[in-house]
Structure 1
Amino acid sequence: MRIPLMATALALPLMPCALVAQTSPPAVTLDPVLVTATRTPERADQTLASVSVIERDEIERRQFRSVPDALRGLPGVSVSGSGGAGQPSSIFLRGTNSGHVLVLVDGVKVGSATLGNVPLQDLPIDQIERIEVVRGPRSSLYGSEAIGGVIQIFTRRGGGPLRPRLSVSAGSFETASIAGGLAGGGERGWFDIGGNFEQTQGIDACAGRPFPFAGCGVDEPDKDGYRNLGVSARAGYAFSDRAQLGFTLLSSDNRTDFDGSIFSGNRSHSEQQVYGVEGTLRPVDTWTLILSAGRSLDRYRAFYAETFVPEQFIGLFETERDTLGLQNDFTWIPGQIFTLGVDYQVDRVSGTIDYAQDSRRNTGVYGQYLGTLGANEIAASLRYDDYPDFSGQTTGNLAWGYLFEQGVRVSLSYGTAFKAPTFNDLYYPGFGNPNLSPEESTSVELGVLGQLPIGRWELSLYQTDIDDLISFDATTMAPANIASARIRGFEASALFALMDWSLSANLTLLQPENRSDGPNRGNLLPRRPEQMFQIDLDRAFDRWTTGATLYIAGRSFDDLANRNRLGGYSLLDLRAEYAISPSVRIQGRLENALDADYQTAFLYNQPGRAFYLTLRYEP
């Protein structure tokens, strides 16, 4: 395999950063507490999983404009966009399919049960407090879809003195947005409410070819605008040190213009709604009980609109998902945690398509052990999911780590995962195959991480084999479990802080190989660059803060036959911020400063050079 040798060569530029200075820098928080990797709180340097965390401070410092924008450039993450702002985005985690990523909002599973995707571009980033990304299989804790990993989004929590906030932004492509909120709390309570509105004229999303059909399949050279209205609320109260209750809400209402036809429509009205409630009880010091319930709604309506003609309704797809959870954490032995839990989920679909079956339920039972034995760390988990549509699925994960005295930790992990077929796969009229089995995977990973006086570094080498992938079978004219893939990858990341400087860099190398029988065997899986590199550099000057991000992606292909090549590209983003007062800041961001012309999906355009100006107020 070429990856280890290439990785070593390309990772060398990161190493001199560790030798910048021998003096002691100011204290920097490099290890935030996260919960997604094990469903229990732990520091990022303690978990045996590969993780990335995006905090609210980073969202504002780097002036991200969407969730896909924030995720692009993280180790192991590639983003494919079908046009400009608001257009569908696909997230590929460690080279797996876009449907192989489980997405949670405040612990509630979101997404479409018909298409099997999550419209991350519609989740308002102004309402987000943090994003946790766990790379690698996690079906042993969460069930279906967590083959490539898990992305969990947390809304703003609030707490402390009463604090209003307001931001106003404007920029290229006739973009304008406003966001505001109010946060506060007392000794035991906390709350945060917020809202945002954004609209943009956008760009021409697609330069499709009607004959032969390619891209969006139409030639509709117009601006494809986008509008997003978001609302969030989060509140909670701690009745005592042993009991607390919390509530969360996130809602977005979206209108997106795209290049389409009278059959598919060229305008969509979509809604995303997520509700959650969670209660935590600690009857005794060694037992923590977590009860949770949630509901998510994904509604998509398609229309066809022409100038001076009322829009014509095309179709409706709706997913309603209810979830219940019970989790028990036991700490009978110091330094060791035992977890037992059960999840219950019901999916219901409706709309203009009459599915052969419109609901599905699943019950999952899981257990986990986390322990530290001297210099050894162990994480083991096992889960069984019961689906009435097909046989039950058992998945597991085992990880071991050893911490050397020098602060270097070596870890090794093995995990299995699966993805249940979607309603479209199983029951779409005239197309679905009710005899489909889940897609299954096995993964192995070797990781090394270390701490330095001015930062940290991490290396990961992994392989994932996926079998029974669902693909269209030309002999039966229906989906079937006939495809397979093998993905090998290497990730290197480093983070350093010295005085007023901060530097982070990461490198991802992938071999996402199609292992299916037939003429495409050995080809690259679509829309996954083989190389990705990103470096961020920021500097503070009294009231000024400046920064730059360089992102480089290698070539990829848009089709299984590897005929439609997507060339590599480089993106340079520049940013600056000036603190007018402790409560008022003005920010500017120059995106794609070199005006690179590139595509992440064949014939779908990407924005050129763009500038955005933001004024923020938050005491």
Structure 2
Amino acid sequence: MRSISVLALVAALPALASPGFALAADTLDDATAVDQIVVTAGRADDKLSEVPVSMTVITAQALRQHQAVVISDLLSRTPGVTVTRNGGVGGTTQVRIRGAESDQTAVLIDGVKLNDPSATGGGYNFATLLAGDIDHIEVLRGPQSTLWGSQAIGGVVSMITKTPDGPLSGDATIEGGSRATAYGRVGVGAGGAWGGWRLAASSYTTAGISVFDDTLGGKEKDGYHNNAISGRVDLNVTDWATLDARVSYAAGRNEYDSSLPAPPYALGDTSDYGKTKELVSYVGARLSNFDGALNSRIGYAYTQTDRDNYDPTSSAPKTFDARGADNSLEYQGTWKITPIWRAVFGAETERSWFRTASPSFSSVVTRHATGMDSVYGQLQAKPVEGLTLTGGVRYDDHDTFGSATTYQAGAAWTPNAGATVIRANYGEGFKAPSLYQLYSDYGNTSLNPEEAKSWDIGVEHSILEGRARGSITYFDRKTTNQIDFVSNNTPPNFGGYANIAKAKSKGVEVEGSFDVNSLLTLSANYTSMDAVNKSAGSNYGKDLPRRAGETASADAQVSLPNGLTAGVTMQYVGHSFDTIANTRRLKSYVVTDVRIAYPINDTFELYGRVENLFDQDYETIYKYGTPGRGAFAGVRAKF
């Protein structure tokens, strides 16, 4: 295990000060809320204290207190999560959980999986994901494929949008600040015994920073613009049947820097830009039978991502054109067999399609489709008071690579009425080869799925009637059959994809919080992780690129009786390597943010924040810039 830096130790002190430790299952803003209801871990309503998997909940209160706009920034402060971005807001954004690849993270919004079938690894780019109408986020760490299928090797990021409830009401936000940044959003909805509806829209624009790091000579600012709209309707047809439909659409335009012409074929200021459009839609029915003992859901989801890149200086300006679409039909049942036994089971059929082209270089258009059928089941038992056991299995049958079977087993035990929670979990994950890896010019239809096996164990303890809580988790994951590009000297492609890579990740996550009094709350987390390459060859045993061995975050929140709130967050990211051979080192850094908010009356609230208060200069990717100090202010309203 890596040596622990002084700064990381300071950040972790609130957790270490607690007399006990536990699995990372705390909320970002209120670690004492151990028995809140979560839905992602078991695909059903569960008390957090009965969940065996390691997870963090970013609540609606945390989103509001931290004045969240860019979701990936908030995720980067949670245990075991690292984020890299090609430049400023809008640049390609990769989220890695416990050292896994970015495309090994399953990303959901209201249960619908988000991924881009046209992307090289088929993963999700967090660049266009803004806070919008998101109510809260559940982050699961460790392989979760038994319930969530392909891509859930590192974990799951599940976002749940706001639910319409009560009479007609709404909320709105508008803010502006550094780098000519402006952000506005509005949401309105209503609900009652008949069901509910909600509509929301947002717009974000910024002049940005130079994607090519300004410390290396980057001068041209690369801006970003994003517009999004979403809506949902829930209709209670009878007392046992509900229909629901949801749709969201986001369109972004990001300017970026690419390689200059020869010489030097190196990153520099260019006028390139890209356009991205993302559509997510779902329609389904929920049924309740046998006096609520059996709850069923039947749903159809369709997602589509369109990406186009342009070079205005080229005679053929469009340099890249990609479209990926995913259709899925699923059934899920939740059966409360007895007060002791519960079963969650389901079946899914998924069909994915992609098309890519590089019009400025070739007239060739690559397109292909594939499908996968799946069945899964998980059984939960509560044989004695305070003990929850789970076990599950999943079977997937892919059109190309064949079948994959994954298993999960876990336990959560509260021996003393909730003051202590002990958790242990074993999980398996897999990731199907992407369409690009299977069918592009570099594709290989003989690829097998990537596979992972992982276990973690931890204990959580609280004192002072829940005011102080500490936790510690140890995790260990091995990933095999990872897909990597193999170079050779054979034209025209000079290589292709193969299952040649292996990786291992292990580490410790420490969390804690302390409600000092009614005015002050302290919280912190610290992760020490070894994520290493286990592939045969010269890079065996070296750190996986862009995974910091140490990360930490510490937060202080003040809430005064007059409604004024203020806070400070310090985030530490240890050094990492930018290359697989570990020849280029990215230095460690600390970023400090401060914030304040004050309610004028019951309707309006003023707020402001300063990001990167001390103007820290750092890189998450070599040669790519990151935002310096920025100040932002706005007003929020509810009506």
What residue identity is the alignment partner of 1:425?
Q
Q: CA deviation at 1:3?
A: 7.7
Greater than 4 Å deviation, 4+ residue runs? 1-13, 26-30, 261-265, 353-357
RMSD between superposed Cα atoms in Å? 2.5
Q: Which residue of 2 aligns with 1:415?
A: 427
* Equivalent AA in structure 2 for residue 617 of structure 1: A
Task: Give the superposition deviation at 1:208.
Answer: 9.9
Residue aligned with 1:260, SS: coil
Matches of residues 211-610 of structure 1 in structure 2 within 5 Å?
A: 221-260=219-258, 266-285=272-291, 286-306=293-313, 312-352=317-357, 358-374=368-384, 375-405=386-416, 407-429=419-441, 431-452=442-463, 453=465, 454-475=467-488, 477-497=495-515, 498-541=517-560, 542-610=562-630
Structure 2 residue aligned with 1:185:
191
Per-residue deviation at 1:510? 0.5
Contact 1:355 / 1:427 at 8 angstroms: preserved in 2? no
Which residue of the other structure, out of 159, 165, 174, is the alignment partner of 1:168? 174
Matches within 5 A, 1:184-203: 184-203=190-209
| AA at the equivalent of 2:251 | D
Between stretches 223-232 and 112-121, larger displacement belongs to 112-121
Equivalence map 1:59-208=2 (5 Å):
59-115=63-119, 116-207=122-213
The question of whether the paired residues in 2 share the 8 Å contact of 1:72 and 1:78 is answered with: yes
3-state DSSP of counterpart to 1:436: coil
Change in 2 beyond 3 A, CA 1:18/1:539: farther
Distance 2:350 2:179 in 1: 42
SS in 2 for 1:276: strand
Structure 1 residues 311 and 613: CA distance shift in structure 2, 3 A: farther
1:23 corresponds in structure 2 to none
Q: Classify the secondary structure of the residue corresponding to 1:259.
A: coil
Structure 2: which amino acid aligns with 1:236?
D
User: Shift of residue 390 of structure 1?
Assistant: 1.0
CA distance change for structure 1 residues 355 and 107 in 2, over 3 Å: closer, same or farther? farther
Gapped regions of structure 2 (runs ≥ 5): 21-29, 262-269, 359-363, 489-493
Query: After superposition, what is the alpha-carbon deviation per residue over 1:235-294, rounded to whole angstroms, capped at 9, x for unaligned?
Result: 212234422222111110110000025999811111011011232111213211111111
**1:364-409 residue CA offsets vs partner (Å, 9 max, x unmatched):** 1001001111143211110000001012000010112332126322
> Residue 156 of structure 1: CA displacement?
2.1
- Matches of 1:44 and 1:193 in 2, distance apart? 30
Partner SS, residue 358 of structure 1: strand
Q: Does the 8 A contact of 1:514 with 1:523 survive in 2? A: yes
- Structure 1 residues 349-358 or 285-294, which shifts more? 349-358
State the distance in 2 between where 1:539 and 1:188 align. 40
C-alpha displacement of 1:30: 4.8
Q: Offset of 1:147 from its aligned partner?
A: 0.4
Residue 16 (structure 1) aligns with: 17
Distance 1:377 1:596, change over 3 A: same
SS of residue matched to 2:132:
helix
Could you tell me the TM-score, scaled by structure 1's length? 0.92
1:16-41 CA-to-partner distances (Å, cap 9, x unmatched) read 3679xxxxxx9974543211111011
For 1:357 and 1:195, the matched residues in 2 are separated by 33
Matched to 2:304, the amino acid is L
TM-score, structure 2 normalization = 0.89
- Determine the C-alpha separation between the residues in 2 that align with 1:311 and 1:54: 45
Q: Provide the secondary structure at the position in 1 that maps to 2:63.
A: helix
How many Å separate the matches in 2 of 1:446 and 1:594? 38
The alpha-carbon distance between structure 1 residues 357 and 118, as it changes in their structure 2 partners (threshold 3 A), is: same
Rounded to whole Å, the distance in 2 between the matches of 1:325 and 1:341 is 7
1:61-85 Cα offsets, whole Å, 9 max, x none, are 1011211012111011110111011
Report the Cα distance in structure 2 between the residues aligned to 1:294 and 1:65, rounded to whole angstroms: 26
1:168 offset after TM fit, Å?
1.1
Say if 2:118 and 2:355, in contact at 8 Å, map to a contact too: no
Partner AA of 2:174 in structure 1: V
CA deviation string 1:127-174 (max 9, x = no partner):
211111111111111211000111111222221121122211100001
Structure 1 residue 108: Cα displacement:
1.1
CA contact (8 A) 2:356 2:367 kept: no
Question: Residue 261 of structure 1 contacts residue 304 of structure 1 at CA under 8 Å; is this kept in 2?
Answer: no
Go from structure 1 to structure 2 and tell me whether the alpha carbon gap of 1:578 and 1:13 turns closer, same or farther (over 3 Å shift): closer
Question: Within 2, Cα distance between the matches of 1:287 and 1:510?
Answer: 42
Structure 1 contact 67–124 (Cα < 8 Å) conserved: yes
Aligned equivalents of 1:230, 1:100: Cα separation in 2: 26
Partner of 1:22: none
Alpha-carbon distance in structure 1 between the residues aligned to 2:124 and 2:135: 19
Deviation digits for residues 586-614 of structure 1 (CA, Å, limit 9, x no counterpart): 11010000110000111111000000111
**Matched residue of 1:45: which SS?**
helix
- Return the alpha-carbon distance in structure 2 between the equivalents of residues 84 and 347 of structure 1: 31
- Identity across the alignment (%): 28
Q: Which residue of 2 aligns with 1:55?
A: 59
Q: Is the CA contact (8 Å cut-off) linking 1:321 and 1:345 kept in structure 2?
A: yes
The 1-side partners of 2:275 and 2:309 are apart by 7
Check 1:31–1:266 CA distance in 2 against 1; reply closer, same or farther (3 A cut). farther
1:307-336 deviations in Å (ceiling 9; x for gaps): xx9992222111111111101111121132
Tell me how far apart the structure 1 counterparts of residues 205 and 11 of structure 2 sit (CA, whole Å).
40
Aligned residues: 602
Question: Could you say if the C-alpha distance between residues 572 and 380 of structure 1 is closer, same or farther in structure 2, counting changes exceeding 3 Å?
Answer: same
Cross-structure match for 2:491:
none
Question: Would you say the 8 A contact 1:220–1:259 is kept in 2?
Answer: no
Question: Which AA in structure 2 matches 1:228?
Answer: N
Q: In the aligned structure 2, how far is the partner of 1:441 from the partner of 1:384?
A: 15
Secondary structure at the counterpart of residue 544 of structure 2: coil
